[in-house]
Structure 1
Amino acid sequence: MKRYFINHPVFRIIAPVIYGILIYLLILLINNSIAQVNEIFSSQEVYIFIALTAFTFESCRLIIILFRRYEQNNPTRFYLPLQIISSTGISVGLVMLCLTLYFAYAVGFSMSDTQTILFTAIFSVTALLYNILYLSHYYLQKENTLKLQSEMQQREILEMEMNEFQQDINPDLLYESLENLIGIMYRDIDKAEEYIDSLASAYRYVLTNRHQEIVPLSAEIDAAKNLIRILNEKYFGQLKFDYTLDGATDDARLIPGSLPIVLESIIRNSIITRFEPFSINCYLEDDYMVIQSRLNDRLISYSGSKTAFARLQKSYSLYSDLPLIQVKAYQDSYIKIPVLKVEEAVATNK
């Protein structure tokens, strides 16, 4: 409720003053001509109508606040009619009580039936106008909130797509490869050409299969071998990748980029020296592809690993009930990727 204009101090001070003066002038013009207004105008009565207007506004505001709190805990479709009827009836009743007391004790006589009807009509319209102002602001703000929520959702979608695009492009690998390429060009032009071919193949694989849901195991193995060739330039040629696909079937699939993402995460989170080979073994076990490596973690883990695994886990949850598993046992680290099976219906001609 704090964000609504009816709670703003400026509105609560200025609106009753302006509206009270207008009401008083309206009442004078109903029973008198314009020429007579100057003669019967009373500043005391103006103050009374300003006070009555402020009393009407404040009573309506308090009733709206009470109804808003009640409606949040007990939503009902009759909320708005009840709010309008209650705020109008209570505020008009209180104002008429104040006028009755004013006429009885200050003026010295009671109101006539005509005056009672006139005051009741005017302050009923006042309460209704106050509710209309509130409701117009309420629905305008509600519409703006929905638009803001829609824009926030679109922004989140764009950010997610941008993050996915950055994950696909893998800027860390690209920059490192370009730096390595500069060093190779000074030593061996032929090797630099081979390195460029490997780098181009890696990104061609990413871009080609970007919109593919699943790819064969063999394609992922080829992409993994290509990644090892690229990274070996940085890690002194000590990266060894061995794989066996015994028991693999033609319908076995992986999500594109799964194996390269896992291998890069393992390599970037391990201490690798020029004095000892770092071997990574890949094999099938039950419904998983297992990636095994020696446990030799770095002191500070690679920042993109958690994001990459979370993305893989979310992707595989759409296709399989089997989770992505990470296990560290004894001196080895195991990462298990669910192998997806493609079921094809074979039509038989009878």
Structure 2
Amino acid sequence: MKKLFVHHPLFRLLSPLFSGTLVYLLILLINNNIGQLKEAFLGLELYVCIGLAYLIQEYARLSLIWFARFEWPRSFLLKLPVQLVSSVVIGIGLVSLAMYLYFNNVLGYTPNTRELFIFNSIFSLITVIYLVLYLSHQFLYRVNTDRIAKEIEAKEEVEADFLRFRSEVNPNLLFESLESLLVLMKKDPKAAEKLSDHFSGVYRYMLGKKNRELVPISEEFEVLQELTRLFAYFPYRKISLKRVGDLSTWVVPGSILNIVERIIRSTIVSAEVQLDLAIYEDKESFSLRYIPEETLRGKFDQQALADIEKSYKFYSDRAVRVFFENPYKIVEIPKLSIDASSHS
């Protein structure tokens, strides 16, 4: 759609044949010489009209390319008349020069004003038609581009809503909690009640955060402790969560929960070994550190945090990143201030 059809080689080759023939017929009609068609339709004048059509159409096509690259004037309303007038004037100059050469060298006399006016009027019209085609193509391209951009934006919004809904519901955690609850209800009702409390605390936060852009890390950390207690009922490692220092920052709701859950799920299951998670504070960021023992199929890397990284890009120029610093794997998260929410 972006490339105008007048630049297509086949159009450039065939179009002047038809337009030149049409110009020849039109001139015969204007001069009341239509009877000459029976005598010499394929005369020299026809070839001259076709040649002029090639000249003017190639010039008009090149002028479109040149003006598309020409940055002055920047205003479209100013650029349009400049392009129209200059294209027509130069086209008249080319036609007049070609007519003088043909009449003087072939016919042996100078063309009169009427003949020049007829030829220039018709071929100027061809130049204007090229300009109109270009403008209509540009407007149509802009309209279609805007529509496609809106469709892509709507699609991204739907995908974002779906991902947000999936992260809020978290079906894996939901079913694992319910399955463990069903088992514990028969075996240990008190433990089942505690599991239910941890489960409700996590899900109450996950479902209630959708109207909040940023939350204090202390609030997220409280729910994180509920999450680690909930995972203690599942067949994963025992989890130890330690916070070094008194963090004072804001986070995207659910981001720390998602990171920790993905770390837990990417770690080899073992009832005998503990997964130690520690949160450290730096000047412009804070980090989660642990000694990794990852499963062969589900390694935790930068790609696993693509959705969280996308969320943080809205609030900070610093990226969420995962890197290895022997023997620790570190997830670095930028600090956010409450002023960052003013972007919304």
Q: Same fold (TM over 0.5)?
A: yes
Query: Structure 2, unaligned stretches of length 5 or more?
Result: 340-344
1:264 aligned partner: 261
Shift of 1:50: 1.9
- Do the aligned residues in 2 keep the contact of 1:316 with 1:324 (CA within 8 Å)? no
Q: Does 1:113 align with 2:129?
A: no
2:342 aligned partner: none
Shift of 1:149: 2.8
Q: Deviations over 1:107-157 (max 9, x none)?
A: 333322221222222222222222222222222223322332333333334
- Do the aligned residues in 2 keep the contact of 1:60 with 1:88 (CA within 8 Å)? no
**Number of aligned residue pairs:** 332
Shift of 1:92: 2.6
Q: Does 1:188 align with 2:159?
A: no
Where do residues 306-321 of structure 1 align in structure 2 (5 Å cutoff)?
A: 306-307=305-306, 309-311=308-310, 313-314=312-313, 317=316
Let me know the Cα RMSD of the aligned residues.
4.2
Q: Does 1:275 align with 2:272?
A: yes
Q: Deviations over 1:157-205 (max 9, x none)?
A: 43333333333333443455456567x3797374567645644443232
Where do residues 1-350 of structure 1 align in structure 2 (5 Å cutoff)?
A: 3-32=3-32, 36=35, 38-39=37-38, 42-44=41-43, 45-71=45-71, 76-77=74-75, 78-174=78-174, 176-177=176-177, 184=183, 188=187, 190=189, 195=195, 198-215=198-215, 219-235=219-235, 238-241=238-241, 255-271=252-268, 273-280=270-277, 294-298=290-294, 301-302=299-300, 305-307=304-306, 309-311=308-310, 313-314=312-313, 317=316
Gap change, CA 1:69 and 1:337, over 3 Å in 2? closer
Q: Deviations over 1:286-345 (max 9, x none)?
A: 999978765234266335742365256446649xxx9979897776677787888889xx
Distance 1:136 1:289 in 2: 52
Distance 2:284 2:208 in 1: 25
1:348 aligned partner: none
**TM-score, L = length of structure 2:** 0.74
Shift of 1:8: 1.6
Gap change, CA 1:114 and 1:240, over 3 Å in 2? closer
Distance 2:59 2:288 in 1: 73
- Do the aligned residues in 2 keep the contact of 1:290 with 1:337 (CA within 8 Å)? yes
Distance 1:227 1:12 in 2: 69
Distance 2:231 2:67 in 1: 66
Shift of 1:60: 1.3
What amino acid is the match of 1:28? L
Query: Structure 1, unaligned stretches of length 5 or more?
Result: 344-350
Shift of 1:27: 1.4
Shift of 1:232: 1.9
**TM-score, L = length of structure 1:** 0.73
Distance 2:164 2:186 in 1: 36
